[in-house]
Structure 1
Amino acid sequence: MSKPRYNQPKPRRLTDFYPTAAAMQRAQDGAEPLNPPRAASAASLGHHTALHSAQEDAPDASRDIMDTLPPPVESPGDLMADRAIEKCERCPDDQWPNLNRNQCIKRPLHFLSYGDPLGKALTVLASIFSAITALVMWIFVKYRKTPLVKANNCNLSYVLLISLFWGFLLSFLFVGLPGEVTCLIRQTAFGFIFSVAISAVLGKSITVIVAFNATKPGSRLRKLLGSKISAFLVCMCSLGELIICVSWLICAPPFLQYDIKTMSGHIIVQCNEGSLAAFHFSVSYIGILAIFTFIIAFLSRKLPDRYNEAQYITFSMLVFCSVWISFFPTYLCTKGKAMVAVEVFAILSSNGAVLCLIFFPKCCIILLNPERNRKKTFP
């Protein structure tokens, strides 16, 4: 049975919809009523609508309609091609269709840049903290022969200040477009530098307890007041983190990753840790050192006032542990540049707490209250 033929409607003129000037004049004279403008018919709306009208009369015409209508978009990354083509074309991985879905455009890169307001704020904060740390280091070197600097183990103070300084500078590795070398060293450098800093704080806490007990007559702890015991503590505690970082780099090193699935229409440029377990193990080791340091400092917080560094260490470790405990859930719940910003903020806030709570009281005594920085104040 042959398909029925449909008479194609003739194209309409503009006068079929709107009256002419002559018709309007006749309507004014009362000779002929003026009909209102009619709506556009199916033929005037184009070929698709005409075929749609024909489809209502005969179901066999549905195949002709599907051949001419644009196909549905299969996925957000598909590009709508010509209306006469049934299949969509997928854009390359580094491109994305425009709003009209008729052209592929470059996907913007998503990372924590220096031009971003958040990146600018973190960069300025890191620069300020680095300058303050250098200034405190200069004060301690200049007044290294004063009783206050000597009583708090100046060698450990130098190690702690240097590690804090590099910790603040480490923040610049997280801001800007990541690279292969940047991704390789930034997490491992973060772990090692922080382990050195916490080891130095732990050494200072133990030094406070040893120094107090060494003042007792006949105490054998005077032999432990030298720099050898503090250097041994720093080396041994930092060695554990160094082994973790070296094993991490050998077995599953971090690498640069371009993520096109997490954020629609963007490419997230990020550093993949390589081994998430190694990253967590590295941070957990620092956390264990910080908790142990907090316990030692808390137990020695009630020593005489001239040994009140234990109180400052207790508060600094309390803030340090609080920051990194809240860091983990926040870090795991964020993506893209927000995840990087969370880690940079944790680095700056924890380092800043150690710098301010341990060294600022000493700097105030050295610069503003020098009469307390005398030998009679310290045994």
Structure 2
Amino acid sequence: QSVCSQSCGPGFLKVPQEERPICCFSCVFCPEQHISNQTDQQVCIPCSSQEYPNPERNYCLPKRLTFLSFEDPLGMALACTALCFSVSTTAVLGFFLKHRESPIVKANNRTLSYILLTSILLCFLCSFFFIGRPNTTSCILQQITFALVFTLAISTVLAKTITVILAFRVMKPGRTMRRFFVSGVYNAVIPICVLIQLILCGVWLGTSPPYIDTDAHSENAQVIILCNKGSVTVFYCVLAYLGSLALGSFTVAFLVRNLPDTFSEAKFLTFSMLVFCSVWVTFIPVYQSTKGKAMVAVEVFSILASSAGLLGCIFFPKCYIILLRPDMNSLRCIK
């Protein structure tokens, strides 16, 4: 036994002292993810990636598998929010179907309104793919469904904005503009935009599709099961395409925002796209700075917030007029 030093117990590393006899040493606590289970051990043993050291650093404990589940308070809150918004969207859709012959519903292009409400409902429902234990199917579905239904929603908003422009331009002389309006050729924007996104998703699935992954480093005592995006480049290409569609819709709506006040659809569309773009511009830096379950929660929150922005800004004012201001829901007021 050394006279100048006490023995180093389990959990400590034996480090010689410089310029002193070899029997003189210091006891240093083992670093993170390392243990020592013997006295006077000179090297700490690393725990595996699936384990973590106990507080005394003398043995390794197995890490607990975790993910954003429905039982988790955060997952439960997001799931309840998505369910409430889904019910609200279904109610608005039913409300519009019930009052489909009213002037305000007719004036806002019933077909496009139904398509937009259906796509918003799918946006809310696709958030459920992100909650629960990930598997190969859910990893693929959550990203592909998210990309396609949001493209459908934004392209429908763009088509509605073009409809508003044509509705006012058609009053001016010119057969070409009237022919565009009557033929409904502006509706072709929707399948074209969705087809482009479908091609991007096909490239994504064909090159490097999403898959199940684990994160053993973000949290000390847990291994987080999550979905890896696969090709990050294609993922950001999909987001960039969505962003360009949203920016285009916002720009077009902003340019025609000063149409007559009795027809304020352009203002509603402008504000809805402003909310949508604000949510997703904020999403990218926040998403990059989070890890583990928080990363999934940020994505789900962005999906819910942007979809709620579309629903609230475009459709709630019309529901308000139909329910509480029937005097404004007349052909004279709309014209």
Q: Which band: TM-score by shorter chain? A: 0.7 to 0.9
Which has the higher mean CA deviation after the structures are superposed, 313-322 or 257-266? 257-266
Does residue 145 of structure 2 align to residue 189 of structure 1? Answer: yes
Does residue 242 of structure 2 align to residue 242 of structure 1? Answer: no
Counterpart among 203, 213, 217 of residue 257 in structure 1:
213
Q: Write the distance in 2 (CA, Å) between the matches of 1:287 and 1:215.
A: 32
Alignment check: 8 A CA contact 1:327 1:343 kept? yes
Counterpart among 154, 157, 166 of residue 122 in structure 2:
166
Counterpart among 131, 136, 154 of residue 175 in structure 1:
131
How many residue pairs were aligned? 324
Percent of aligned pairs with the same residue?
43
Q: Which amino acid aligns with 1:139?
A: F
Alignment check: 8 A CA contact 1:95 1:107 kept? yes
Q: Write the distance in 2 (CA, Å) between the matches of 1:343 and 1:297.
A: 26
Does residue 294 of structure 2 align to residue 338 of structure 1? Answer: yes
Q: Larger C-alpha radius of gyration, 1 or 2?
A: 1
Where does 1:108-147 land on structure 2 (aligned, <5 Å)?
108-147=64-103
Look up the SS of the partner of 1:301 in the other structure.
coil
CA drift at 1:85: 6.2
Alignment check: 8 A CA contact 1:208 1:307 kept? no
CA offsets 1:281-316 (integer angstroms, 9 cap, x no match): 111111111111111111111112332100000111
Structure 1 residues 214 and 292 mapped into 2: Cα distance closer, same or farther (>3 Å)? same
Counterpart among 35, 38, 56 of residue 100 in structure 1:
56
Alignment check: 8 A CA contact 2:8 2:39 kept? no
Structure 1 residues 48 and 375 mapped into 2: Cα distance closer, same or farther (>3 Å)? closer
CA drift at 1:71: 9.1
Q: Write the distance in 2 (CA, Å) between the matches of 1:250 and 1:48.
A: 57
Which residue of 1 is the match for residue 17 of structure 2? none
Alignment check: 8 A CA contact 1:80 1:89 kept? yes
Structure 1 residues 70 and 364 mapped into 2: Cα distance closer, same or farther (>3 Å)? same
Which residue of 2 is the match for residue 372 of structure 1? 328
Which residue of 2 is the match for residue 151 of structure 1? 107
Does residue 236 of structure 2 align to residue 280 of structure 1? Answer: yes
Look up the SS of the partner of 2:296 in the other structure.
helix
Q: Which amino acid aligns with 1:351?
A: S
CA drift at 1:116: 2.8
Q: Write the distance in 2 (CA, Å) between the matches of 1:344 and 1:378.
A: 37
TM score, norm. by length of structure 2:
0.87
Alignment check: 8 A CA contact 1:71 1:88 kept? no
User: For structure 1, which runs of at least 5 residues remain unmatched after alignment?
Assistant: 1-5, 7-41, 50-58
Where does 1:7-46 land on structure 2 (aligned, <5 Å)?
none
Q: Write the distance in 2 (CA, Å) between the matches of 1:217 and 1:231.
A: 23
CA drift at 1:226: 4.6
Look up the SS of the partner of 2:61 in the other structure.
strand
Which residue of 1 is the match for residue 13 of structure 2? none
Does residue 271 of structure 2 align to residue 315 of structure 1? Answer: yes
Structure 1 residues 363 and 71 mapped into 2: Cα distance closer, same or farther (>3 Å)? closer
What is the RMSD of the two structures over their aligned residues, measured on CA atoms? 2.8
CA offsets 1:176-225 (integer angstroms, 9 cap, x no match): 22222111221221111111100000000000010111133554423333
Look up the SS of the partner of 1:76 in the other structure.
coil
